[in-house]
Amino acid sequence: METTVAQKLEALMKLQQIDSQLDEIRKVRGDLPEEVQDLEDEIVGYETRIEKFRAELATFEGTINTKKNSIQESKKLIARYEEQQLNVRNNREYDAITKEMELQDLEIQISNKKIKEAQELIDAKQAQIDETNHTLEERTKDLDNKKKELEVIISETEAEEEKLGRSRDRASKGIEDRLLKSYNKIRSNARNGLAVVSVKRLACGGCFNMVPPQRQVDIKDKKKIIVCEHCGRILAGVEDVVEVEAPKKRKTTRKKKVTKKVEEENN
């Protein structure tokens, strides 16, 4: 079914109204959803860090075990050497065994030193783990609070948002893909979320730059889709607010008189 430009513009206008309402709902949430997301990311970071620290702890503990085992081995050797020393045949043999024993003794000293070092590393790492755990707990509390806060806000607007979501689906169905894509693109670039606006008081309702008279005529004609030459927003119509409200506004300010004068010149 062929749709006219006027119908397309009307459909876009409707979609815009729905989206603006959705924007309002989301505005109430403020930065909360992002804050929740940031905290969740931060917490994952701490958890990863703790895991890494624990793996390092395991390595140090492994070192200690290895060294303890080698001390046991050295002690066994020393005991065996002591026995052998009782059965030596000459001084040379005795001295050789003594040398071996000294060597094992040195091994034990080195191992003890390594164990001490590893223990120090473990203590330092454990302190880091405790500190990170503490921060993790704090952030988890923050996250729980923010999540609760967000849940309350969401629950208050959930029904309305769902209803608007359904209206949005219906409204976008009637709009061709290409147009819908442009609409979404303009909207994502616009700070106020407006992609479709009317000309109000001779100016674009999105960026408030003046729209030339001939362009306004074309917009009113609705023969083709016209965008604002300054901001790129779709100009769906012209609101003759000034003309209608002019009589009671005449007495107010000079600025408005000027506006009206321009309007007259344009017509």
β-strand pairing of 226-227 with 196-200 = unpaired
231 binds Zn ion (CB under 5 A): yes
Segment interacting with Zn ion, rule: CB under 5 A, options 130-138, 188-196, 199-207, 213-221? 199-207
Q: Which of 11, 39, 136, 204 binds Zn ion (CB under 5 A)?
A: 204
Residue 135 is encoded by which pair of tokens? 């921060």
| 161 φ/ψ angles, rounded to the nearest 5 degrees | -65, -40
125 binds Zn ion (CB under 5 A): no
- Is 46 in contact with 132 (CB distance < 8 Å)? yes
226 binds Zn ion (CB under 5 A): no
Segment interacting with Zn ion, rule: CB under 5 A, options 38-46, 101-109, 165-173, 205-213? 205-213
Neighbours of 76 (CB within 10 A): 11
Q: Which of 121, 207, 225, 241 binds Zn ion (CB under 5 A)?
A: 207
230 binds Zn ion (CB under 5 A): yes
- Is 234 in contact with 197 (CB distance < 8 Å)? yes
Determine the size of the site formed for Zn ion (CB under 5 A): 6
CB of 227 to Zn ion, least distance (A): 8
What span, in angstroms and rounded, lies between the C-alpha atoms of 231 and 226? 12
CB of 233 to Zn ion, least distance (A): 5
- Is 26 in contact with 179 (CB distance < 8 Å)? no
Q: Between 96 and 210, whose beta carbon lies closer to Zn ion?
A: 210
Segment interacting with Zn ion, rule: CB under 5 A, options 74-82, 84-92, 172-180, 201-209? 201-209
Q: Which of 63, 206, 219, 236 binds Zn ion (CB under 5 A)?
A: 206
Q: Rounded to whole angstroms, what are the CA distances from 97 to 41, 107, 109, 166?
A: 62, 15, 19, 91
Segment interacting with Zn ion, rule: CB under 5 A, options 57-65, 89-97, 185-193, 228-236? 228-236
Provide the b/e sequence for 17-55 (b: ≥16 CB within 10 Å): ebbebbeebeeebeebeebbeebeebbeebeeebeebee
Task: Report the run of H or E that residue 199 belongs to, with start and end.
Answer: strand 196-200
Segment interacting with Zn ion, rule: CB under 5 A, options 131-139, 180-188, 212-220, 222-230? 222-230
228 binds Zn ion (CB under 5 A): yes
205 binds Zn ion (CB under 5 A): no
237 binds Zn ion (CB under 5 A): no
Q: Between 57 and 203, whose beta carbon lies closer to Zn ion?
A: 203
Residue 191 is encoded by which pair of tokens? 């700070």
The binding site for Zn ion (CB under 5 A) comprises: 204, 206-207, 228, 230-231
